[in-house]
Amino acid sequence: MITIHDKKFEVYITESEIEFAIEKITQKLFDDFQDETPVFIGVLNGSFRFVAQVIKNYNNNCTISFVKVASYHGTENAAIENLIGLNEDIKDKHVIILEDIVDTGNTVEYLKAELKKQEPKSVKIATLFFKPDVFKKDIKIDYVGIRIQDKFIVGYGLDYDGLGRNLNDVYALSENN
Ligand code: 5GP
Ligand code: MG
């Protein structure tokens, strides 16, 4: 049990389980994009560690960019603001969005629509964590690392009000708060 700000969290998924799941995603990406040079687009801040781990194992041509979509504060969902930081030309390229977690799907839905405006050859979504019970969108999540229950998690890049991104394991909000 650990405390972050005012809340107690318990270990939920270990670093080795996470990295095993990322290896499987990376293998699928490698198989699917073998003869291409895909553009990986990491969604900051939460995905930095997921992106680093994918790239570490992805032994083929690729480019890497990061964008930011302001969409979440604390433990409450908030409205999506906007997309910042896409400097790379993605026209006619295969794009893979790398997200830390897909919850309602608002963020990836918005992002996919924004990226499509630039006429890439394809846009796929890869997420490290996925909450199937919360997700309500009619879009495909192409690559999923780990499906989780509807819990608030921190660690491995994800934060609770700025803290916890440096934790190596993932922690879930405890029921004893
Ligand atoms: P969505 O738009 O799919 O509802 O939520 C996406 C964003 O909300 C994620 O990229 C992440 O930043 C944040 N988010 C959703 N669920 C969680 C969670 O359990 N923990 C943390 N730390 N962030 C979350
Ligand atoms: Mg995110």
Ligand 1 atom nearest residue 135's Cα: 3
Exposure of 156 by Cβ count < 10 A (0-12 exposed, 13-18 middle, 19+ buried)? buried
Q: Check pocket membership of 72 for ligand 1, CB cut-off 6 A.
A: yes
Question: Is 103 marked active-site?
Answer: yes
Q: Please name the residues in contact with 10: beta carbons below 8 A apart, sequence gap of 6 or more.
A: 1, 2, 171, 172, 174
pLDDT tens for 61-78 read 999 999 998 655 555 555
Q: Check pocket membership of 155 for ligand 1, CB cut-off 6 A.
A: no
pLDDT tens for 111-153 read 999 999 999 999 999 999 999 999 989 999 999 999 999 999 9
Peptide bond before residue 45 is cis, with ω within 30 degrees of 0? yes
Residue 177: both structure tokens together: 């708060």
Ligand 1 atom nearest residue 102's Cα: 3
pLDDT tens for 13-30 read 999 999 999 999 999 999
Residue 160: both structure tokens together: 């609770």
Phi, psi of 56, deg, nearest 5: -60, -35
pLDDT for 75 equals 52
Among 31, 32, 103, 161, the active-site one is 103
Exposure of 37 by Cβ count < 10 A (0-12 exposed, 13-18 middle, 19+ buried)? exposed
Q: Could you tell me the pLDDT band of residue 81, with boundaries at 50, 70 and 90?
A: low
Portion of the chain with pLDDT greater than 70, in percent: 93
